[in-house]
Amino acid sequence: MAVPLFNLAPNLSVSRLCFGTMTFGEQNTLSDSFRLLDQAFSAGINFFDSAEMYPVPQRAETHGRSEEYLGRWIRDRMISRDRVFLATKVSGPSGLMTWIRGGPMCLDARNITEAIDNSLLRLRTDYIDLYQIHWPDRYVPMFGETEYESTRQFCSISIEEQLGALGRAIVEGKIRYVGLSNETPYGVMKFVQAAQRDPCLPKIISLQNSYSLLCRTFDSGLAECCHHERIALLAYSPLAMGILSGKYFSPDGSPGDARLNIFRGRYSEGESRYNLSNKFIEAATMEYLDIAKIFGLNPVSLAIAFVLRHPLVASVIFGATKSWQLQEILNACQVELTNEIIDEINKIHEKIPNPCP
């Protein structure tokens, strides 16, 4: 049975599973990536997400490989461009990734335009279907931080300038739609209001934020914004970087080739949110694993099905490094969670809310 579709925009249907490619070029070789993409496409997945900074952990030697592999696959397999929906992202300010436009220092018009042009070259395509701002051009708590500190605010590029650059790219045919990622309710509404004031600026159609059994912070504020403004959630990290599969707390010991083991000490963004020594993460995960066992479900199916049932989720963005992992994700599309299962899930959430914010 093929992966179901979702109407993300008028006359635009995307698969409810989106293949995230941030392991391509690091954990996955080119041939590995092609095999996984073939398997996903054959199953009905037409939605693929990348970013200019991928793969992760990010480093100068591998910068851009994820987009390159995805573009080569489309070309080598001679897939008609209108059969796939490509999403990628421009990196926000970062003093660490000096190999990306010197930082990048900001998201001004020049940086956005340069990033789009470079992604088009790596993807070997004339246009990008969904272009997203990877994280805000302003200070916000992210990647495990939960409290806003007003003293950390710094100067930022105006939202009007950012949307203006994206709007010109749409007029030029370089991108089709615009989305945000790792945003806050304040940020979403400022982008919405800017587009309402000036009809020449593009409207945001999607928000790519984390959502899983271990992170339901979207429901506190962002869900209301997205519901009223008709913005779809593209939910990333539905397995909390693999934690909800149970592999890290297995009695046999977590596998050595698991991402949080391979890159221990090298992937601060992931480790700050998915801290395996956090007793609340382990406690909540073990209880969700018990639910899966009681109701005869694969833990992956439980986790993915939970995210898919959210009324504002257009597509679930997942990663996979092995064929059997991808198959587990695909199987989850056939699972429907009963009210009894949801009640048990909510009981755990009330006890241990959002241990991976």
Query: Does the active-site annotation cover 148?
Result: no
The residue among 113, 94, 128 whose CA lies nearest residue 161 is: 113
**What phi, psi does 269 have (nearest 5°)?**
-60, -40
Q: Find the angle CA(208)-CA(104)-CA(318) to the nearest 5 degrees.
A: 25
CA distance 115 to 118: 5
Place of tokens 């599973």: 17
Cβ burial 194-233 (10 Å sphere, 16+ → b, else e): bbeeeeebbbbbbbbbbbbbbbbbbeeebbebbeebebbb
Q: Which helix (H) or strand (E) holds 8?
A: strand 5-9
Residue in 54, 69, 274, 288 annotated catalytic: 54
Q: Please state, as a whole number, how many other Cβ atoms lie within 10 Å of the Cβ of residue 243.
A: 30
User: Would you call 192 helix, strand, or coil by DSSP?
Assistant: helix
The answer to whether residues 315 and 16 touch, using CB atoms and an 8 Å cutoff, is yes
The answer to whether residues 186 and 138 touch, using CB atoms and an 8 Å cutoff, is no
Q: Which helix (H) or strand (E) holds 145?
A: none
Phi-psi region of 211 (alpha: psi -120 to 50; beta: other; left: phi over 0): beta
Give whole-number Cα distances, 354 to 8, 73, 102, 346, in Å.
Answer: 27, 37, 35, 12
Strand partners, 89: 132
Strand partners, 198: none
The catalytic residues are 54
